[in-house]
Structure 1
Amino acid sequence: MGLLTALLTAPLAPVRGVIWVADQLAEAADREVNDPAAVRVQLAALNRALEDGEIDLVHFEREEDRLLDLLEAGTGPEVAR
């Protein structure tokens, strides 16, 4: 039965490979976006943009709230710092 199944599903192997690669990329992107260190870098850049006059206070506060929510939603000792 295993050999027959393998032969019948062989044409789907490339599709399974593409799905696996897409899953790996999505997981890596999710880890990078939710990494507390990356969020802190984004917060610092946001502060610089406000100080340099590139963004207004309303935009700053909206983005700051979003980034702080990401930090609060994270887990682990890195967030507690």
Structure 2
Amino acid sequence: MGLIGEVLLLPFAPVRGAGWAIRQVLSEAERIYYDPATVRAELARLEEELEAGEITEEEFDRREDELLDRLETALRSGDTTGNGT
């Protein structure tokens, strides 16, 4: 973009900056959400809740299916590092 275009769009710089920041936050949140290590930790925590009697078998099955779907999506996308970062 040329100098004139930059000058004309200067009043919109805060909006463009906010848009960039929002995209970065969403990208990081998605990376964490689909991280295999995070999903595995949530599966372990879910099993502990079941064993402690904090949730029912039906609730366990429903939430386990959701977590396994997330894990499958993560592994299919190629992110198999599982290092939690």
The normalised TM-score by structure 2 is 0.86
Rounded Cα–Cα distance in structure 1 between residues aligned with 2:25 and 2:58? 33
Aligned to 1:2: 2
The alignment yields a C-alpha RMSD, in angstroms, of: 1.6
* Paired residue type of 2:69: D
* Aligned counterparts of 1:66 and 1:50: Cα–Cα separation in 2: 16
Number of residue equivalences: 79
By percentage of residues, which structure has more helix?
1
Q: Is 1:29–2:23 an aligned residue pair?
A: no
TM-score relative to the length of structure 1: 0.89
Aligned-pair identity in percent equals 47
> After TM superposition, where is structure 1 displaced by more than 4 Å over at least 4 residues in a row?
none
Q: Greater RCO between the two (CA within 8 Å, min separation 6)?
A: 2
SS of the aligned residue for 2:53 comes to coil
Unaligned runs of 5+ residues in structure 2 are: none
CA distance in 1, matches of 2:81, 2:62: 23
